[in-house]
Structure 1
Amino acid sequence: MNAEDTEKSFRKLLKESGKTLRALSPADLLFVVGDFWLSTTPEGLREENGDGLVAYFELTSRGKGIQYEFGVNRIMCFPPAPEQYSAWLPALKLRCSLGYKATAEIFQLKAPVSTFGCWDKTKSKDFFDSVTNSPQFQLIKSYTHFSSGVALSECDAPWGNPEHSTKGFEWAKT
């Protein structure tokens, strides 16, 4: 599979499983995207840190007022051109997200915004445990989302460590 085909493949997986994005709970979203990541390997990605997941909780404003978004993004990074150095390399981001109304409980969280990343499939259990045990996840698991989305888009990824020294995972979220 090409990285450019991940959105189409993910939508096909959802359809074949009888699930719709609109009907997914936060746990469903995390594990469906996680299973898709674990079971597929796009071609042409860089060997180290070329395919990873970034789960996030973020306050956003996407035209529907302020919402609390939970998303799981699959980041697919391409290798650098051998003849040139660039601090940022081309990548694709498959963004899968659920949007919730921003409630008073969300603003009462010690840290309503949070990000988790995993680029090693052998450490996926720790990643899933970290996300599901977070206070943000514990709060929204009983909420009903009012928006959902899946989109593949281009982005830039750092050359080395995916958790950039000054930008963290901000580059991978929005």
Structure 2
Amino acid sequence: MSMNRNPSQAEKDLRALIRANKQTLKGMMLPQALDLMSAYYQNARDYDVTPDEGDALVVYDDITNRGRGTRFEVGIARLFCLPTKKSSTGPQPALRLRLRLCYKFDMDVATGILPEDTWSHYCWSPADMASVLEQLSNETAYQVLKDKVPAEVNISLEETTYLPTKKHPASDAQQNWWGVWDVD
């Protein structure tokens, strides 16, 4: 019997960390959000996940519309690959905890970021997190958005699936759908 925590409580854990840091989602800026998720990824390592590459940290940018108008989104996600009895190369269960920062289209976003290609950076181990953060700091989107207050910041925990053979997808194939196998 493992003593590890169920990843289904990850959203509660993250919200508790935000409270402990005396932070709120409202007005959270990108550098704070990255610090928060990085610390959470480094320090909360006792979730019950698959032993081999079972816990990823992902940062992506995307253009999304979730009913409040089109936004430029930077998401910081943690993908938990859940242990399962059946071993296969088919879809496996996972949970995705996302902290999303959504920005209105202003001139900076329209002229500075939109012409750029979308990107995502990820790692399967806290040891590789520094290189993810370094890559991110060189992205135009980060430079443009780091001092802006997002229009909206939220946390969600979603059930999803991943393909074991696609744990290292091409950098242009991820965005909002990172770690989700069954979308175009």
User: What's the TM-score once normalised by structure 2's chain length?
Assistant: 0.85
Which AA in structure 2 matches 1:107? A
Asked whether 1:91 is paired with 2:94, we answer yes
Question: Deviations 1:36-57 (Å, cap 9, x if unpaired)?
Answer: 0110124321112100111011
1:71 aligns with 2:58: no
Shift of 1:104: 3.6
Correspondence for 1:147: 152
Deviations along 1:61-108, whole A, 9 cap, x unmatched? 1111110111100100013424x5242210000010111002343233
Q: Give the match's secondary structure for 2:15.
A: helix
Q: Is the 8 A contact 1:93 1:172 kept in 2?
A: no
Aligned-partner Cα distance in 2 for 1:60–1:15: 28
RMSD of the TM alignment (CA)? 2.1
Matched, 1:162 2:133: no
Counterpart of 2:122 (choices 104, 117, 137) is: 117
Shift in CA distance, 48/167, structure 1 to aligned 2, threshold 3 Å: farther
Identity %: 22
C-alpha displacement of 1:148: 0.8
* Cα deviation, residue 140, structure 1: 0.7
Hey, what's the Cα distance between the residues in 2 that align with 1:92 and 1:28?
23
Matches of 1:130 and 1:166 in 2, distance apart?
12
Give the C-alpha shift of residue 167 in structure 1: 8.5
Question: 2:57·2:77 contact (CA, 8 Å) conserved in 1?
Answer: yes
CA contact (8 A) 1:91 1:157 kept: yes
Task: For 2:55 and 2:22, locate their aligned partners in 1 and report how far apart those are by CA, in whole Å.
Answer: 26
1:103 counterpart residue number: 106
Any conservation in 2 of the 1:112–1:136 contact (CA below 8 Å)? no
Question: What amino acid maps onto 1:57 in structure 2?
Answer: D
Secondary structure of the equivalent of 1:22?
Answer: coil
CA 1:172 to 1:45, structure 2 compared with 1: closer, same or farther past 3 Å?
same
The one-letter amino acid of 1:135's match is: T
Distance 1:66 1:173 in 2: 23
Asked if the contact 2:28/2:150 (under 8 Å) is kept, the reply is no
Is the 2:118–2:172 Cα contact (8 Å) retained in structure 1?
no
The aligned amino acid for 1:90 is P
Name stretches of at least 5 consecutive residues in structure 1 with no aligned partner.
Answer: none
Alpha-carbon distance between aligned partners in 1 of 2:117 and 2:134, rounded to the nearest angstrom? 18
Gaps spanning 5+ residues in structure 2: where?
none
1:30-41 correspondence runs (5 A): 30-41=34-45
